[in-house]
Amino acid sequence: MTSTLLRGRTLSFLRWPEAIDDHTAWRYEEDGGLLIRDGKIVAAGAYAQVEKQAGEGVRKIDHRPHLLLPGFIDAHVHFPQMQVIASYGAELLDWLNTYTFPEETKFANAQHGRRIARLFLDEMVRHGTTTVAAYCSVHKASAEAFFAESHDRNMLNIAGKVMMDRNAPAGVLDTPQSGYDDTKALIAEWHGKGRQLYAITPRFAITSSPEQLEMSGALCREHPDLHMQTHLSENHAEIAFTQQLYPQARDYTDVYEQYGLLGKRSLFGHCIHLSEREADALSDSGSVAVFCPTSNLFLGSGLFDYQRFRRRDKPLRIAAATDVGGGTNYSMLRTMDEGYKVIALNGEKLNPLQSFWQLTRGNAEALSVAEKVGTLDECTDADITVLDARATPAMRLRMETVETLAEELFLLQTLGDDRAVREVYVAGRPAKSDLIGG
Ligand code: GUN
Ligand code: ZN
């Protein structure tokens, strides 16, 4: 088996950076090397040291002066919404009814699902994202299409068919029993196949009957190693409708709590309007709140209070995500740029080291996959993104005045997008240059 030796400026995080000069929180090599064998990083460090371990016949790829980072992770995205993104003029519930549910009915057609899954994963790779937690449509075929495409590319992805049995058009409804049966069959077929991971996915309380949430809880009990993903506290009208549908619940979070859906592998999209009790419940259970800044701005949903959630006595575990098609960009760089602005509107700042921690190791920890991805540590999977801070004329000009790594990262976040992603490695294989049109 031939091995590959990458050379470039390597950056990987050890923990959350408390401040911009908290240098012990990350490992940066100005002339770094990554030795890759069988899809894994087998040696990482100073290039001169790593090269000594490379042996004969190693394929050398020199990415200098670019940065080598762990592949980005998107913790919440809807692959069937590629033709929903950029839909004008509605808040959440109208947006779902007007654009999203009709679009998702098309995924009853397996061929359509396969085409969009292929284009979606192309787009992820083009933007430097190597792992996602994805919602499929209600149709079992849409999840099969997603996993087949992901498995073909040997990507580590988490996904699930949404379960939804009310308050939506017939073409996107299942039943508590069919949702359960389809989920069981998909778990049996896909969970743990290669790098594929299944997430139990009740869409949200409005589109699931009590019987369906009961079944979702049963699935979580039967498969405690699986992720669970849903939406929580995104929009005021959504919260009010949920209270009407579940009048016995103390609050929105309590709906999910009562059905046993909170836990360390539970991912809750949005979490914008949480009460202190709800935040405590998420914290106590180790659940994850997923920050979706471009979506929250686009749909006018509200400002996620990232720093307060981190600092509270009972802190929240936080992930960041695009939430395409409510989100407006596939890029995690664009996402963290908008995230920075949301946090600024809350009177706080997120420094660039913290941002890049979030979209690599931070998201990997939130998704409980940091043993495999999210760092450049030895023995982890070789999912790597190569970034060029001079990718456009405006970036090149601004780079003339940049003196520090932190400034370069902030420039990448503020001005960068897919053009700044020069190459992406998925399990050690060049994946971006492999796409048609590179
Ligand atoms: N809540 C329930 N479904 C969705 C969805 O598809 N997108 C967003 N942003 N919120 C939701
Ligand atoms: Zn969503």
Q: Does 438 have pLDDT greater than 60?
A: no
pLDDT value of residue 353: 98
233: confidence class by pLDDT, cuts 50, 70, 90: very high
Domains of the chain: 3-70+376-437 (2.30.40.10), 72-350 (3.20.20.140)
Ligand 1: does its nearest atom lie under 6 Å from the Cβ of 326? yes
Q: What is the Å distance from ligand 2's center to 36 Cα?
A: 35
Is pTM beyond 0.75 here?
Answer: yes
Residue-wise pLDDT for 275-329, tens only, equals 999 999 999 999 999 999 999 999 999 999 999 999 999 999 999 999 999 999 9
138: confidence class by pLDDT, cuts 50, 70, 90: very high
Ligand 1: does its nearest atom lie under 6 Å from the Cβ of 361? no
Residue-wise pLDDT for 140-191, tens only, equals 999 999 999 999 999 999 999 999 999 999 999 999 999 999 999 999 999 9
437: confidence class by pLDDT, cuts 50, 70, 90: low
Ligand 1: does its nearest atom lie under 6 Å from the Cβ of 234? yes
Residue-wise pLDDT for 46-67, tens only, equals 999 999 999 899 999 999 999 9
Average pLDDT over residues 265-278: 98
Ligand 1: does its nearest atom lie under 6 Å from the Cβ of 63? no
Angle formed by the axes of helices 176-190 and 140-152, to 10°? 20
Question: Which residue blocks in 66-167 are alpha helix, DSSP H?
Answer: 92-95, 101-105, 110-126, 140-152
Q: How far apart are CA 63 and CA 182, in angstroms?
A: 45
383: confidence class by pLDDT, cuts 50, 70, 90: very high
Q: Ligand 1: which of 98, 100, 101, 294 to mutate, most ligand atoms within 8 Å of CB?
A: 100
The answer to whether the CB of 231 falls within 8 A of the CB of 268 is yes
Q: Does 130 have pLDDT greater than 70?
A: yes
Question: Which residue blocks in 129-209 are alpha helix, DSSP H?
Answer: 140-152, 176-190
pLDDT value of residue 436: 75
| Protein residue closest via CA to atom 1 of ligand 1 | 231
What number does the ligand 1 atom closest to the CA of 238 have? Answer: 1
2: confidence class by pLDDT, cuts 50, 70, 90: confident
Task: Calculate the alpha carbon distances from 88 to 91, 237, 265, 293, 298 in Å.
Answer: 10, 19, 34, 17, 9
The answer to whether the CB of 127 falls within 8 A of the CB of 386 is no
With H, G, I as helix, E, B as strand and everything else as coil, classify residue 333: helix
Residue-wise pLDDT for 318-371, tens only, equals 999 999 999 999 999 999 999 999 999 999 999 999 999 999 999 999 999 999
Ligand 1: does its nearest atom lie under 6 Å from the Cβ of 268? no
Q: How far apart are CA 422 and CA 424, in angstroms?
A: 7
With H, G, I as helix, E, B as strand and everything else as coil, classify residue 180: helix
Ligand 1: does its nearest atom lie under 6 Å from the Cβ of 230? no
The answer to whether the CB of 426 falls within 8 A of the CB of 155 is yes
What number does the ligand 1 atom closest to the CA of 162 have? Answer: 3
The answer to whether the CB of 79 falls within 8 A of the CB of 118 is no
